[in-house]
Structure formats: structure tokens, C-alpha cells
């Protein structure tokens, strides 16, 4: 099951645009964040086999970090005009579920 705004998420990967996401954080209630889209895939961190949206949270009060969110937790996904460069955020050899043209970061 994907979120209703799944196509916006995919478009942001291909266009390298930031996103604003609003989601139910379970621990802290409804949260809105500016993020970079990473992938939609099964999480290595959670062992339940569920597909999650993976983002890099740019404006968390606790500092930038990866967010892995179940589709049913997401309220909205909105495309922002700001662009990002994958080289500024990717520090590993990625194995994305969603194909993309990010050069060496694909």
C-alpha cells in the first residue's frame, strides 16, 4: 500500500526537489518536516517486512536524520521548489528500490 501522494514522492526523487511532509509520529503527534526523498522500500532497521517511505529530515529540532515512515502515518507530501544534490547527503553505496539517475549515487 502506497500513500495517495506517492507520485509526488517519486517525482521529487527524479527532479531532486525537497519535500514537505506532514505525518503522525506516534510518539509526538502530528509533525511537519522539510525532507529529502530517499526511497520507498522495506526498512533494514525495522524487521517487520513493511514498506516505508525513507526521508532525510532537514529541520528536526534533534538535528538532521533519516526518517522511515509507514504510508498510513503520512498525512501529506508536498513538492517544494528547492533542489538538492545527492552528493551532499549520500555517504554510502546505495541500493535503492526506486530507480533514479543520480550518477554515482544511483
Full-model pTM? 0.92
Query: What pLDDT band is residue 16 in, cutting at 50, 70 and 90?
Result: very high
**Inside any domain, residue 35:** yes
- The number of C-alpha atoms within 13 Å of 79 and in the hemisphere containing its C-beta is 15
In a domain, 46, yes or no: yes
Q: Does residue 1 form part of some domain?
A: no
DSSP 91: -
Question: CA-to-CA distance for 32 and 23, rounded, in angstroms?
Answer: 7
Q: Is the residue at 40 inside a domain? A: yes
Tens digits of residue pLDDT in 50-105: 999 999 999 988 888 899 999 999 999 999 999 999 999 999 999 999 999 999 99
Q: Which domain holds residue 13?
A: 6-105
| The pLDDT of residue 17 | 98
How far apart, in whole angstroms, are the C-alpha atoms of residue 46 and residue 74?
17
Q: What share of the chain is helix, strand, coil (3-state, %, to 5)?
A: 20, 40, 40
If one counts the domains in the chain, the total is 1
Cell numbers 532525510: residue: 56
Amino acid at each position: 500500500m502506497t500513500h495517495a501522494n506517492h507520485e509526488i514522492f517519486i517525482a521529487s526523487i527524479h527532479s531532486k526537489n525537497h519535500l514537505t511532509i506532514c505525518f503522525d509520529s506516534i510518539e509526538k503527534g502530528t509533525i511537519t518536516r522539510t525532507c529529502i526523498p530517499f526511497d520507498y522500500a522495506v526498512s533494514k532497521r525495522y524487521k517487520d517486512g513493511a514498506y516505508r517511505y525513507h526521508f532525510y529530515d532537514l529541520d528536526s529540532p534533534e538535528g538532521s536524520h533519516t526518517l522511515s515512515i509507514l504510508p498510513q502515518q503520512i498525512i501529506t507530501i508536498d513538492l517544494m521548489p528547492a533542489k538538492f544534490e545527492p552528493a551532499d547527503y549520500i555517504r554510502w553505496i546505495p541500493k535503492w528500490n526506486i530507480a533514479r539517475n543520480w550518477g554515482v549515487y544511483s
